[in-house]
Amino acid sequence: MNAYSEGTFADLIGLRYTELGPDRVCGEWVVKPHLYQPAGIQNGGVYCTVIETLASIAGGVWFGDQGTVVGVNNNTDFLRAVREGTLFGEATPLHRGRLQQLWQVVITDEQGRAVARGQVRLQNLPHRS
């Protein structure tokens, strides 16, 4: 997945996948100044991107060759400001149905503290006959 993501927005922010499966997808990235907002902390858009990406990848792996998935809602909460270090994201399913999925993603710091969390609703798009 890391090679497949080369040149994408996720690659631009430095997201690297560390686990990939139908029930859990994990990734990590290093907080760097080019990812800051003006106050000198991790930009919230990075959290939204990581949450959307990990959930979408996870949902796509689970849905498999039945078709594709697209995000229809991303709700992200910012819990703790971060200025440096490595952050870790973990996507797990809350619901996987015929037409939609709901995934939760928790982002933690190197001390295991939650810094952001989000939910992403995905629409399952089956292949057309």
Identify the active-site residue in 6, 52, 84, 110: 52
Amino acid at position 102, single letter: L
Give the span between the Cα atoms of 52 and 40, in whole angstroms.
Answer: 23
Dihedral of alpha carbons 6, 11, 17, 22, sign: negative
Do 126 and 67 form a contact (C-beta atoms < 8 A)? yes
52 is catalytic: yes
Active site members: 52
